[in-house]
């Protein structure tokens, strides 16, 4: 094992997924059933996190909740901590086939999708105190991107 002392701390808004993730994590950490920006305190406040990962969820948050989430994560990271984020970037023409389908699905489910341009997303990250170290495309898709941020 590469990091035998690593602790895992996660949040997941879907109760069944949180339950299954807790089983996988076992005694190495915890997974709470909640959603951003309602991020519970780190279980070991004297040991800030080295890394945070946000996957396919920032588009589900409005602007204020996105900023608050970034700020809370920033506050839980160690001085050189990293945030890795995967999301879709709104194409320059304002729509992608995927984002349109997601918006329809979210509206049916009663939610809202907030796809942002790369500039808008970068502005939110910087406003929360992060420095963007890299942006890479995600797989073969045209809209998915990985953002690598440092505190």
Say what percent of the chain tops pLDDT 70.
82
Mention every residue, 6+ apart, whose C-beta is less than 8 A from residue 98: 88, 141, 143
CB 137 within 8 A of CB 88: no
How is residue 145 annotated by DSSP? E
Consecutive H or E run containing 138: none
Tens digit of pLDDT for each residue in 5-47? 888 888 888 899 899 999 998 988 888 898 888 888 777 767 7
Of how many residues is the chain composed?
Answer: 151
For the chain, what is the mean pLDDT?
A: 83
Across 76-97, average pLDDT: 79
Q: How confident is the model at residue 138 (pLDDT cuts 50, 70, 90)?
A: confident
More confident residue, 131 or 138: 131
Nearest alpha-carbon partner for 69 in 6, 60, 108, 138: 60
Nearest alpha-carbon partner for 64 in 147, 129, 126, 124: 124
Say yes or no to pLDDT of 67 above 90. Answer: yes
In order of 20, 30, 60, 91, 124, the CA distances from 25 in angstroms are: 9, 7, 25, 36, 31
Q: What are phi and psi for residue 10, nearest 5 degrees? A: -140, 160
Residue with tokens 């004297």: 46
CA–CA separation, 70 vs 103, rounded Å? 23
């Amino acid at each position: 094992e590469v990091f035998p002392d690593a602790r895992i701390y996660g949040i997941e808004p879907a109760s069944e997924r949180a339950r299954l993730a807790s089983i996988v994590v076992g005694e190495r950490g915890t997974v709470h059933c909640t959603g951003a920006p309602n991020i519970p305190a780190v279980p070991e406040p004297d040991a800030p996190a080295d890394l945070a990962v946000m996957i396919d969820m920032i588009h589900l948050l409005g602007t204020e909740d996105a900023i608050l989430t970034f700020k809370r994560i920033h506050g839980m990271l160690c001085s050189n901590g990293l945030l890795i984020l995967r999301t879709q970037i709104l194409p320059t023409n304002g729509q992608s086939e995927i984002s349109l389908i997601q918006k329809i699905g979210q509206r049916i489910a009663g939610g809202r999708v907030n796809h942002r341009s790369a500039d808008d997303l970068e502005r939110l990250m910087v406003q929360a105190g992060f420095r963007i170290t890299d942006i890479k495309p995600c797989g073969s898709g045209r809209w998915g991107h990985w953002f690598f941020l440092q505190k």
